[in-house]
Amino acid sequence: MPALNPESDLHWMSLALEQARQGIGFTSPNPAVGAVIVAEGELIGQGFHRQAGQPHAEIEALKDARIRAPERIAGSTIYVTLEPCSTQGRTGPCTSAIQAAGITRVVWGAQDPNPSHVGRAQQLLESAGIAVTTGILESECQEILRPFAKWITTGLPYVIAKAGQSLDGRITRPPGEGPWITSEAARAHSQGLRARVDAILVGAETVRQDNPRLTLRNGSLKPQPFRIILTRSGHLPADAYVFTDAYQDRTLVLRDLAFPEVLRDLAARGITSVLIEGGSNVLGQAFAARCVDEVCWYIAPRLCGGGLPVIGGPDWQSSVALENVTLLPIGDNLCLTGRPVWP
């Protein structure tokens, strides 16, 4: 049996996390997962889950180890960010593949929130004589699972609300002044949010007023997010970018659906994460329905009397505090993120 060494467990799990992060944004509706295989204190294989339907992280790491050091796999340890799956899905159970490869110790970070798998792997592996250690870098591993965990356990997507506002909470400037509130650098930063999600959601008024592209343009190779347009009237300009550009087949118009039903509809289509980018009324409706899991606010050093409030409409009349707050200056703009603690 390989020796237990808590310090090196942390080291190898942090490498598995690095692997997992490479899959973020690409694996939906599956989670991003990474794995490394270690024999006698040396890394002999690594891999991550690239896309739903493709091999899981464990299988990718085993493929790598079979090229690099096939004779050292028997008796090795595999580190996985997620509890290995134990059922036949689009691919076979990783617990069986691990056992068949002769791996003698399995270490994972987070439990699989998927009800088909949760809590099953430990007993299965241990009864096959494989040593199991769990909970290494657990919160870091859970962090990248958040969208998947929300979707698989609630039937709703993970929701990020994004806004760019003036210091006095406005999202528009007086007529004739131009559209932008936040700086170019702040807007470029927000592309990172689009790279994390399956879909971007806006209200029809945003399409009518701003004609946004709602595309991912930061060099990421991830598929373009779906663009969801909410409308009551159905009046939308046919020549808007979202209906005419190269990704027009990824635009979906949803009529007369309120929160949270609209989100349930999206989750049923396999959308595990949604970025709400406005406008004022849609943000008001999403917060009123307590549908927001994370906020990302860009704040510009400008005061904008008379503009639209960042969260508007009649619906939301309460308040909510944020936890896990981060503050990032971007030049003279500020990016504030956090998670609403819904009462």
Cβ at position 77, least distance to Zn ion in Å: 17
Of 92 and 169, the one with the shorter C-beta distance to Zn ion is: 92
Cβ at position 82, least distance to ligand AOF in Å: 5
Closest CA to 320 of 329, 311, 307: 311
Binding site, annotated residues for Zn(2+): 56, 85, 94
Residue 106 binds ligand AOF, judged by CB under 6 A: no
**Alpha carbon distance 315, 285 (integer Å):** 6
281 phi-psi bin (left φ>0, alpha ψ -120 to 50, beta other): alpha
Tell me how long the chain is.
343
Contacts for 122-125: CB closer than 8 Å, 24+ residues apart: 122/83, 124/86, 124/95, 125/84, 125/95, 125/98, 125/99
Residue 49 binds Zn ion, judged by CB under 5 A: no
Residue 120 binds Zn ion, judged by CB under 5 A: no
Per-residue interface string for the shown chain with Zn ion, residues 79-108, x marking contact by CB under 5 A? ------x--------x--------------
Chosen from Zn ion, ligand AOF, none, partner binding at 212 (C-beta under 5 to 8 Å by type):
none
List residues bridging with 220 in a β-sheet: none
Is 58 considered catalytic here?
yes
Of 9 and 83, the one with the shorter C-beta distance to ligand AOF is: 83
How far CA 128 is from CA of 71, 132, 232, in Å, comes to: 21, 11, 57
- Tell me which H or E stretch contains 159: strand 158-166
Catalytic pick from 7, 58, 60, 205? Answer: 58
Residue 134 binds ligand AOF, judged by CB under 6 A: no
Q: Which residues are catalytic?
A: 58
Return residues touching ligand AOF (CB under 6 A). Answer: 30-31, 33, 49, 52, 56-58, 82, 84-85, 89-91, 94, 112, 114, 117
